[in-house]
Amino acid sequence: MTAPRIRAAGPEDLDTVLAFWKTAAEGTSISDDRDGVERLVARDPQALILAELDGDLVGTVIAGFDGWRCHLYRLAVHPGRRRQGIASALLAAAEERFVRLGGRRADAMVLTRNETAHHAWRAAGYTPEEKWRRWVKPLTE
């Protein structure tokens, strides 16, 4: 298989990314809309990383760094392209970005019910931290 082209998303990619997530990503977040993703790319143009094969979007990951912590979100691979190294290539790009920025540990948001994702994250060397629980509060209605 040809290696995917890995690149940062630009404003022109946002509609494609949002449509892709409806097919390839599990669950949704309050910020999974055009406005939310547009703000992400405007604030940190390198955070949303795309994988493409033959010009088609086949994977995404958000590699957010706040200057202290490295956070991974929206690791998603097209269902027809899974188990081909795309997630590994995306995570390698994200981790390289974090190291360049001075990051020392990455964490990932993974749905509890998404067993397929659990296997992928473990294979990539990540482990769950059961002592932590995510607490959330929507800031808008």
Domains with residue ranges and CATH for the chain: 5-123 (3.40.630.30)
- What is the arithmetic mean of pLDDT over 83-99? 96
Q: Where are the alpha helices (DSSP H) in the chain?
A: 14-24, 34-43, 86-101, 115-123
pTM above 0.85, yes or no: yes
pLDDT for the residue numbered 2 = 86
Place of tokens 């977040």: 29
Strands 56-65 and 70-77, how do they pair? antiparallel
Least confident span in 21-30, 48-57, 97-106: 21-30
Tokens for 4, please give them: 């995917």
